[in-house]
Structure 1
């Protein structure tokens, strides 16, 4: 969210009252990225028929990530705006998608915890997953369309650009379209996978599942690494603008 300060003309003499500017899209980015990677890895095991004796481990992983994303996403979604200094679009861009993904991961964890043994012993695992995930796939598709809307907003209004006071990312403050393109591109990758998800379920895998795996795998890796990097850049921004 700090990147939008450049757009609003608050740089270069930037001072921020951080008591009114809570920001935790660092942990949200990491959990969303790792969540996407785990979904891809789990789906790969289901489609390939790999051994899944320790399905409870997947339930724990999905549950932990889902809990963090649900709590942070819910707080960001219901606190309008989250930051006392403005930026209500952060609630939409980061809060709402993380809330939706977090809730889906939580219920996936609950299902695996309660019915994981049935999935492990199923003769046709892809068919069982398709029947179970079919109804929720409509929400996944809808959130995919929402990701396209977020990406379009990022490009249209040149969002996500970092101010000069932010280490590393701030070096590209004069090129706001660069970071806008990077983040919007990640939302496009997530959106493509989400929109294709219901159709991949009906096809029980195939080429559509491969496309989803590539899109979510790349986006998950990028979100994870970018979120980890932001632990340094956001701390630096706070120190430079106190």
Structure 2
């Protein structure tokens, strides 16, 4: 990336491939799908697991491939190395979880439904992997602190819409860090949400909190990713030189 003081920011985009636009949409879709899946398990005896397997596999493939590439190759290494960790490693981890969930639901469909309570069955299956979920949650909370302390995520003035707040970098830092933190809190509380997770059971306080955290943050990532398809294209147009 080549930067000049005048007439404005000039970027050599061949040196900085970026695809966190589709990653954001996939992460948001994955989080929202998890919330609706949990609700379906607790309220519907005839859950169509094949459909949910597809719902998890599609964003899982996107997050796994893009996250793995970003984690191993560090496309932002020369200019924004922290973005490789923030977006790459977290997307890779979430993508792996979604893909294994999709594969398990597809492979064990009949056995899960034959249990008579798919929610309780999957709740027991999910308990061991909850340690990894908590670990990723703590990582997201750490990223949120780093985003605020070091004022990361600020868009340059050449980027449409979000660039209008370039003079106040703390605003986008708070917004993005807040979404990471909320997802992280939900992930840390995930093992507690598995308690009393069964068909027909009233939702516990922890289940409500995790659902709100993942649902709201998922919607935020989903919409922000969609917005970035405009803002990032605008940034490229404004900085090609």
TM-score > 0.5, shorter chain as reference: yes
- Aligned residue number for residue 22 of structure 2: 27
Matched, 1:37 2:32: yes
* Pairwise CA distance, 1:202: 3.0
Q: Deviations over 1:191-210 (max 9, x none)?
A: 01100001111342521111
> Is 2:60–2:98's contact at 8 Å kept on the other side of the alignment?
yes
- Equivalenced residue count is 235
* Pairwise CA distance, 1:50: 4.6
* Distance in 2 (alpha carbons) for counterparts of 1:148 and 1:139: 14
| SS of residue in 2 equivalent to 1:162 | coil
- Aligned residue number for residue 86 of structure 1: 79
* Distance in 1 (alpha carbons) for counterparts of 2:42 and 2:5: 50
Matched, 1:210 2:208: yes
* Pairwise CA distance, 1:74: 0.2
> Is 1:140–1:194's contact at 8 Å kept on the other side of the alignment?
yes
- The RMSD of aligned alpha carbons is 2.0
Per the normalisation by structure 2, the TM-score is 0.92
> Is 1:20–1:84's contact at 8 Å kept on the other side of the alignment?
no
- Name which of 47, 50, 61 aligns with 1:67: 61
- Name which of 143, 156, 163 aligns with 2:136: 143
> Is 2:157–2:166's contact at 8 Å kept on the other side of the alignment?
yes
- Name which of 225, 236, 239 aligns with 2:237: 239
* Pairwise CA distance, 1:119: 2.3
Q: Deviations over 1:11-32 (max 9, x none)?
A: 9721100000111000000000
After TM superposition, the structure 1 = structure 2 runs for residues 43-192 of structure 1, keeping only pairs within 5 Å, are 43-52=38-47, 54-80=48-74, 82-83=75-76, 85-192=78-185
- Aligned residue number for residue 228 of structure 2: 230
| SS of residue in 1 equivalent to 2:108 | helix
* Pairwise CA distance, 1:58: 1.0
- Between 1:55-64 and 1:122-131, the stretch displaced more is 122-131
Per the normalisation by structure 1, the TM-score is 0.92
Unaligned ranges ≥5, structure 2? 198-202
Instruction: Decide whether aligned partners of structure 1 residues 115 and 161 sit closer, same or farther in structure 2, where only a CA change above 3 A counts.
Output: same
* Distance in 1 (alpha carbons) for counterparts of 2:150 and 2:77: 21
